[in-house]
Chain A
């Protein structure tokens, strides 16, 4: 198991290396000379040359890459071209907001999605199954922005239960924070819950008709144990896989959701940075997203190995 995790960590480092090279080259490939942009249209070639030297832009690309990695590792991600605030500071402020939103949305998705998926599979062909699959299809088809607007209309405007938008940091007022995060988390979690529901349902249907479930029944075990231990345990690999695969959808969903609810998170930062061509921020945003992906996939792989003894015990070989 330890070897397995170390191996996965090794491949994660390789992925990060490749990603950093791509990000580095991607920014260099953009049209325009950053030194000229910084110096201004009217500047003399000597000034441009000085700036180029100051930022190391006259060095060969590999040397520039080494500088870039060294800077990034020491926490220096450059400054925002908009307001000269260090990008690292901006990230430190925005990232926790999105992490909270995503975590809440994922919690909603797991509780609702996995729960209703289990119920639907056990009650296959009955009313509960039709209700769950019906809502699942609806949840899958409805776009975030529409659901978000409807939610604001119903809960904020008509019922006046929840505030329409805005953000209060958790450290300032946890109650207010959760109240304002509830609706965005529900909106963001809905599509996710629908996908999880469908995957859990089909995985559970497969597991429930498996021979080992019949064996469990033949032992005289209670139905709760048959479903909750024997069938669910073998369906969890599917659930975990879907969780990992859907992370991308969660990030893009967060961008839209934060925009609707005016939440100053990572998603909103991304949109604003793209609109203002704030390259240092875009670069950092992409890097953080890649790291997020790699870390989540690493966790998924580890969870996989934990759940599936065939992977866990295959050791160094073909896992």
Chain B
């Protein structure tokens, strides 16, 4: 049994314009101490997939089906009060926007201590002492002074470290990091990734890393799931994925990396992402795919095994465009 098992997860949003199908039949697993990258372009459903685990999607308009099991315990049907014991304790989240994800009215120490007092039932004093240790753990200098400061007194990189300190305060089993380095300078990015790696090594925390940056994936992840239009199109260990990508979309993403630019111009994937409102029985990437054939239009390619641990959803898989 894996630490986290997501089976046939589908997430729909009931909007004024109709039903938006954000995630369609995703299945994936996460092992203890594993760093799994969810990648793909904006709107592909990677964040929604991850946020479904602690059910942090807008209630009321979200329709969720499928199964999410943490240590064999079903989370999708767990009542809200029970789920609140899971959030911040077993499953915690580092959000994308370090500048706005901390409350401007409270000291960072208070915001770290809060989660400890909630789940570990620590006293105010003990929680503050622990907050200082956590700030040290995530590499913030002079933590005794910083713990009394407000978010606006900290830089973006430091705020992101505070967010990580909050997320790891109760030693979670699963840490979800939603584009944790996107808003940061490149030099600070590497430091934040080191913090994640360190946590995994020290506490055995499993990490779901949501990113559109394949450089980050190559740097830190063990395994990656590439998503397109709400579905997983390719899934493989990172070394395998970069050595032998099978899906033309994955290949397109890799070519769009700045380091692979030819003649100073970035390669791009032509065309547009299909509408999340409709879901015809065809390959969603068909219209943008250089390999598209007639069969791509008649049915949707299933996610099938290409090699050991390597799955791809393509009728014409291969390493060449």
On A, residues with C-beta under 8 Å from B are: 210-212, 214-222, 230, 233-234, 307-310, 313
Specify which chain A residues have a CB less than 8 angstroms from the CB of B85 in the assembled complex. 220
**B152: Cβ under 8 A from any A Cβ:** yes
Find the residue from A217, A218, A234, A308 having the highest chain B CB count within 10 A: A218
CA distance A284 to B309 in the complex (A): 87
In contact, B103 and A216 (Cβ under 8 angstroms) = yes
CA distance A308 to B103 in the complex (A): 11
In contact, B95 and A214 (Cβ under 8 angstroms) = yes
Question: Which residue from chain A places its CB closest to the CB of B119 in the assembled complex?
Answer: A220
Contact with A along B246-283 (1 / 0, CB 8 A): 00000000000000000000000000000000000000
In contact, A221 and B101 (Cβ under 8 angstroms) = no
Question: Which residue from chain B places its CB closest to the CB of A312 in the assembled complex?
Answer: B150
**B209: Cβ under 8 A from any A Cβ:** no
B residues 117-149 touching A (CB-CB < 8 Å): 118-119
CA distance A309 to B95 in the complex (A): 23
8 pairs of A and B residues whose beta carbons are closest in the complex: A220-B87, A220-B88, A219-B88, A212-B103, A211-B100, A309-B150, A219-B115, A218-B93
In contact, A313 and B103 (Cβ under 8 angstroms) = no
Specify which chain A residues have a CB less than 8 angstroms from the CB of B97 in the assembled complex. 211
A215 touching B105 in the complex, CB below 8 Å, given contacts A220-B119, A221-B118? no
**B42: Cβ under 8 A from any A Cβ:** no
How many A-B pairs have beta carbons closer than 8 Å: the answer is 73
Question: Which residue from chain B places its CB closest to the CB of A230 in the assembled complex?
Answer: B103
In contact, A233 and B105 (Cβ under 8 angstroms) = yes
**B163: Cβ under 8 A from any A Cβ:** yes
Specify which chain A residues have a CB less than 8 angstroms from the CB of B100 in the assembled complex. 210-212
In contact, B104 and A234 (Cβ under 8 angstroms) = yes
Other-chain residue from A215, A230, A313 in contact with B163 (beta carbon distance below 8 A): A215
A220 touching B89 in the complex, CB below 8 Å, given contacts A211-B101, A309-B105, A310-B152? yes
CA distance A313 to B154 in the complex (A): 13
Specify which chain B residues have a CB less than 8 angstroms from the CB of A214 in the assembled complex. 56, 95, 101
CA distance A212 to B115 in the complex (A): 14
In contact, B118 and A220 (Cβ under 8 angstroms) = yes
Question: Which residue from chain A places its CB closest to the CB of B60 in the assembled complex?
Answer: A125
In contact, A215 and B153 (Cβ under 8 angstroms) = no
Specify which chain B residues have a CB less than 8 angstroms from the CB of A313 in the assembled complex. 150, 153
In contact, B118 and A219 (Cβ under 8 angstroms) = yes
CA distance A216 to B103 in the complex (A): 9
**B102: Cβ under 8 A from any A Cβ:** yes
Find the residue from A216, A217, A219, A307 having the highest chain B CB count within 10 A: A219
In contact, A212 and B102 (Cβ under 8 angstroms) = yes
Specify which chain B residues have a CB less than 8 angstroms from the CB of A234 in the assembled complex. 103-105
In contact, A221 and B84 (Cβ under 8 angstroms) = yes
**B230: Cβ under 8 A from any A Cβ:** no
